[in-house]
Chain A
Amino acid sequence: MEFVFTPEQQMIQDTARQFLDACSNSGHVRDAMTKTTGYDAELWQKICHEMYWQAIHIPEQYGGLGLGCVEMAILFEQMGRRLLCSPYFSTVALATNALLVAGTEAQKQHYLPRIADGSLTATLAYIGHASHGDNNSKDRYHNGWHTDSVTVTALPQFNQHTVITGYTLSGTLHYVPHGHTADLLVIAARLPDSSGEEGVSLFLLPSHLQGVEVQWTPSMDQTRPLAQITLNNVIIPADNVMLQSEYAWPLLEKTLQLACVALAAEQMGGAQQALDLTLEYTKERKQFGRAIASFQAIKHRMADMMLQVESARSAVYYAACIADEALQHHNPAAATDNVSQNDPLSPGNACHSSLDHSLADELPLASSLAKAYCSDAYFHCAAESIQLHGGVGFTWEYDPHLYFKRAKSSETLLGNASFHREKIAQIIL
Chain B
Amino acid sequence: MKLSFSSEDEQFRQEIATWLQDNLCGKYEPLRFRGGPGDEHMFPEERKRWEQHMAQAGWLCVGWPKEHGGRALSINQQVIFYEEYARAGGPGLAGHIGAGLTGPTLIAFGTEEQKQRFLPGIINGTEYWCQGYSEPSAGSDLANVSTKAVLGTAADGHTQQWRINGQKVWTSLAHESDWCFVIARTEPGSQGHKGLSFLLVPMDQPGIEVRPIEQITGTSEFNEVFFDDAVTDANNIVGQPGDGWKIAMALLGFERGVSTLGQQMAFQNELDEIIRIAKNNGAAEEPTIRQRIADAWMGLRIMRYNSLRMLSGPQDGTLQKEAMIYKLFWTDWHSNLGKLAMDVLGPESEIIEEGQYGLSRLQSMYLFSRSDTIYGGTNEIQRNIIAERALGMPKEPKGAV
A392 within 8 Å of B (CB atoms): no
Whether B388 pairs with A299 at a CB distance below 8 angstroms is yes
Please give the distance in Å from A363's CB to the nearest CB on chain B: 12
Binds A, one of B119-127, B168-176, B236-244, B291-299: B291-299
Name A73's closest neighbour in chain B (CB-CB).
B1
Within B1-50, the residues touching A (CB, 8 Å) are 1-5, 9-10, 13, 17
Q: Mark A345-369, 1 if CB is under 8 A from B, else 0.
A: 0010011001110010000010001
**For residues 200 through 215 of chain B, which have their beta carbon under 8 Å from a beta carbon of chain A?**
none
Q: Which residues of chain B are near A306, meaning CB under 8 Å?
A: 321, 325, 386, 390-391
B87 CB to nearest A CB, Å: 7
Q: Which residues of A contact B93 (CB under 8 A)?
A: none
B361 within 8 A of A: no
Q: How far is the CA of A356 from the CA of B6 in the complex (A)?
A: 11
Least Cβ–Cβ distance between A317 and chain B, in angstroms: 6
User: A428 — which chain B residues lie within 8 A by C-beta?
Assistant: 275, 293-294, 297
Interface digits, A90-128 against B, CB 8 Å rule (1 contact, 0 not)?
000000000000000000000000000000000000000
Given the complex of chains A and B, what is the CA–CA distance between A299 and B380 in angstroms?
Answer: 10
Q: Tell me which of A37-45, A57-65, A419-427 binds B.
A: A419-427
Counting CB contacts under 8 A, is B305 at the interface?
A: yes
Residue tally, chain B, CB below 8 Å to A: 53
Most buried by A among B13, B290, B393, B395: B393
Asked whether any CB of chain B lies closer than 8 Å to the CB of A2, the reply is yes
What per-residue 1/0 map shows which CB atoms of B385-398 lie under 8 Å from chain A? Answer: 01110111111110
Please give me the residue from chain B that is nearest to A308 by CB atom: B325
Q: Are A429 and B321 in contact (CB under 8 A)?
A: no
Picked from A283, A291, A314, A318, the residue with its CB within 8 Å of the CB of B322 is: A314
Q: Chain A: which residue is nearest B306 at the CB level?
A: A314
| Chain B stretch 264-303: residues in CB contact (< 8 A) with chain A | 275, 278-279, 284, 287, 290-291, 293-295, 297-298, 301-302
State which of A9, A317, A351 has its C-beta within 8 Å of the C-beta of B305.
A317
Q: Is A282 an interface residue when CB atoms closer than 8 A count as contact? A: yes
Which residues of chain A in 318-373 are interfacial with respect to chain B, using CB atoms and an 8 Å cutoff? 318, 320-322, 324-325, 347, 350-351, 354-356, 359, 365, 369, 372-373
CB neighbours of B76 from chain A (8 A): 1
Complex Cα gap A429–B281 (Å): 12
A317 to B3, CA, bound (A): 10
Chain A residues, Cβ within 8 Å of B290: 421-422, 425, 429
List of B residues within 8 angstroms of A212 by Cβ:
none
A296 touches B384 (CB 8 A): yes
Interface centre among B1, B302, B382 (most CB of A within 10 A): B1
Query: Is A2 a contact of B298 with CB atoms below 8 Å?
Result: no
In the complex the two chains form, what is the Cα distance from A3 to B278 in whole Å? 34
A429/B305 in contact, CB under 8 A: no
Residue in B closest to A352 when the chains form the complex, CB atoms: B10
Q: Which residues of B contact A279 (CB under 8 A)?
A: 391-393
Q: Does A293 contact B (CB under 8 A)?
A: yes
In contact, A314 and B302 (Cβ under 8 angstroms): yes
> Using Cβ atoms and an 8 Å threshold, which residues of chain B touch A293?
393-394
Nearest CB on A from B17, distance (A): 7
Q: How far is the CB of A122 from chain B (nearest CB, A)?
A: 28
Contact partner, B4, options A313, A356, A373, Cβ 8 Å = A356
Residues of chain B within 8 A (CB-CB) of A11 are none
Pair B298/A351 contact, Cβ less than 8 Å = no
Is B2 within 8 A of A2, CB to CB? yes
The one of A2, A282, A291, A311 in contact with B1, judged by C-beta atoms closer than 8 angstroms, is A2
Q: How many residues of A contact B (CB 8 A)?
A: 54
B312 proximal to A (CB < 8 A): yes
Within the complex, the shortest CB–CB distance from B233 to chain A, in Å, comes to 43
Determine whether the beta carbon of B3 is less than 8 Å from that of A3: yes
* A320 CA to B298 CA, complexed, in Å: 16
Rounded to whole Å, the gap between the CB of B153 and the closest CB of chain A is 48
- The answer to whether A3 and B384 have CB atoms under 8 Å apart is no
| A3 with B305, Cβ < 8 A, contacts A321-B2, A322-B3 known | yes
Contact between A3 and B309, CB atoms less than 8 A apart: yes
With A1-B79, A422-B294 in contact, do A354 and B4 touch (Cβ < 8 Å)? yes
Q: How far is the CA of A70 from the CA of B5 in the complex (A)?
A: 18
**Does B394 lie within 8 Å of A300, measured CB to CB?**
no
Asked if B383 and A3 sit within 8 Å, CB to CB, the answer is no
A1 to B75 Cα, complex, angstroms: 10
Main secondary structure of the interface of B (DSSP, over half): helix
CB-based nearest A residue for B382: A303
Q: Is B346 an interface residue (CB 8 A)?
A: no
Cβ B4 vs Cβ A303 within 8 A? no
**Contact, CB under 8 Å: A310 / B10:** no
A4 at the interface (CB under 8 A from B): yes
Report if A421-B295 is in contact (Cβ < 8 Å); known contacts: A303-B328, A306-B325, A428-B275: yes
Please name all residues of chain A whose beta carbon is closer than 8 Å to the beta carbon of B384 when the two chains form the complex: 296, 299-300, 303
Contacts known (A304-B383, A307-B325, A373-B298); A4 close to B312, Cβ less than 8 A: yes
The answer to whether A315 has its CB under 8 Å from any CB of chain B is yes
Task: Answer whether residue B308 sits at the interface, using C-beta atoms and an 8 A cutoff.
Answer: yes
A302–B393 contact, CB under 8 A?
yes
A5 interface residue (CB < 8 Å to B) = yes
Check B313–A318 contact: CB distance below 8 A.
no
Q: CB-nearest residue of chain B relative to A355?
A: B4
A179 CB, min distance to chain B CBs, angstroms = 31
Pick the contact of B309: A307, A314, A359, A372 (CB < 8 A): A314
A424: chain B residues at CB < 8 Å are 294, 297-298
Q: How far is the CB of B13 from chain A (nearest CB, A)?
A: 8
Roughly how many angstroms separate A87 CA and B275 CA in the complex, as a whole number? Answer: 42
Instruction: Determine whether B118 belongs to the interface, using a CB cutoff of 8 Å to chain A.
Output: no
Given A294-B393, A429-B275, are A317 and B309 neighbors across the interface (CB < 8 Å)? yes
A142 CB, min distance to chain B CBs, angstroms = 14
Q: Which of chain B's residues have a CB closer than 8 A to the CB of A195?
A: none
Is A418 part of the contact surface with B, judged by Cβ < 8 Å?
yes
Q: Does A6 contact B (CB under 8 A)?
A: yes
- Asked whether B64 is an interface residue with its Cβ less than 8 Å from the other chain, the reply is no
Q: Mark A260-285, 1 if CB is under 8 A from B, else 0.
A: 00000000000000000001001100
- Decide yes or no whether B329 CB sits under 8 A from chain A: yes
Would you give the shortest CB distance from A10 to chain B, in whole angstroms? 10
- Please state if B2 and A311 are interface contacts (CB–CB under 8 Å): no
Question: Looking at A70, A303, A355, A428, which has the most chain B CB atoms within 10 Å of its CB?
Answer: A303
Question: Which of B279, B293, B383, B387 has the largest number of chain A CB atoms within 10 A?
Answer: B387
CA distance A355 to B301 in the complex (A): 18
Which residues on the B side are within 8 Å of A302 (C-beta)?
Answer: 386-387, 391, 393
A–B Cβ pairs within 8 angstroms, 29 of them: A1-B76, A2-B1, A3-B1, A3-B305, A279-B392, A283-B392, A290-B394, A293-B394, A296-B396, A300-B383, A303-B391, A307-B328, A311-B302, A315-B305, A317-B1, A317-B305, A317-B309, A354-B4, A354-B9, A355-B4, A372-B298, A418-B291, A424-B298, A425-B293, A425-B294, A428-B275, A428-B294, A429-B279, A429-B290
Residues of A within 8 A of B (CB): 1-6, 9, 70, 279, 282-283, 290-291, 293-294, 296, 298-300, 302-304, 306-307, 310-311, 313-315, 317-318, 320-322, 324-325, 347, 350-351, 354-356, 359, 365, 369, 372-373, 418, 421-422, 424-425, 428-429
9 pairs of A and B residues whose beta carbons are closest in the complex: A299-B387, A303-B383, A314-B305, A294-B394, A421-B294, A303-B386, A425-B290, A3-B308, A424-B294
Residues of B within 8 A of A (CB): 1-5, 9-10, 13, 17, 76, 79, 87, 275, 278-279, 284, 287, 290-291, 293-295, 297-298, 301-302, 305-306, 308-309, 311-313, 321-322, 325, 328-329, 380, 382-384, 386-388, 390-397
